[in-house]
Amino acid sequence: MSEHTIGVAVNGDRYEREVEARKLLVHFIRDDLDLTGTHVGCDTGNCGACTVLLDGRAVKSCMLLAVQADGAEITTVEGLSPEGELSPLQQAFSEHHALQCGYCTPGMLVSATYLLSQNPSPSEEEIRRGIQGNICRCTGYVNIVKAIRAAAGQ
């Protein structure tokens, strides 16, 4: 068994852990760090429920080995808003009913956060392109697009 010691900063907290080389980053986040907001919705990297920011860029954490994240800064859904408050996007998701079951929501919010960090006033097409990697089975994306527009001040 190949074990590695890795150090990561997740939502500003530093962790040092032993991981098996074969462990996926998403399982490390969920099982080892108990940050269960990041979800698994498929086993082929299509659904985006496991999306996190890795050094500021949106990635699917089921397509990386945990050991690859050694030294990285990671933001998960739990890190999107300060304690007790909602970010403008989180607030807009609730106001516009952009979530039903809420299972895709963490990944969707991370992707939307990333999108607005790159493009603060996206067009509808750019919003759809920005969340193309996140599958939602409940909302048909209608209200998600609306919420992202609203959070972008449109």
Touching another protein, residues 62-81 (CB under 8 A)? 62-65, 67-68, 70, 76-78, 80-81
Enumerate residues 29-48 that contact another protein by CB under 8 A. Answer: 30-31, 35-48
Assess 20 for contact with another protein (CB under 8 A). yes
Assess 119 for contact with another protein (CB under 8 A). no
The CB-of-152 to another protein minimum distance in angstroms stands at: 15
Enumerate residues 98-117 that contact another protein by CB under 8 A. Answer: 99-106, 109, 111, 114-115
Cα–Cα separations (whole angstroms), residue 58 to 20, 75, 120:
24, 9, 16
Assess 122 for contact with another protein (CB under 8 A). no
Assess 130 for contact with another protein (CB under 8 A). yes
How many of the chain's residues bind another protein (CB under 8 A)?
A: 84
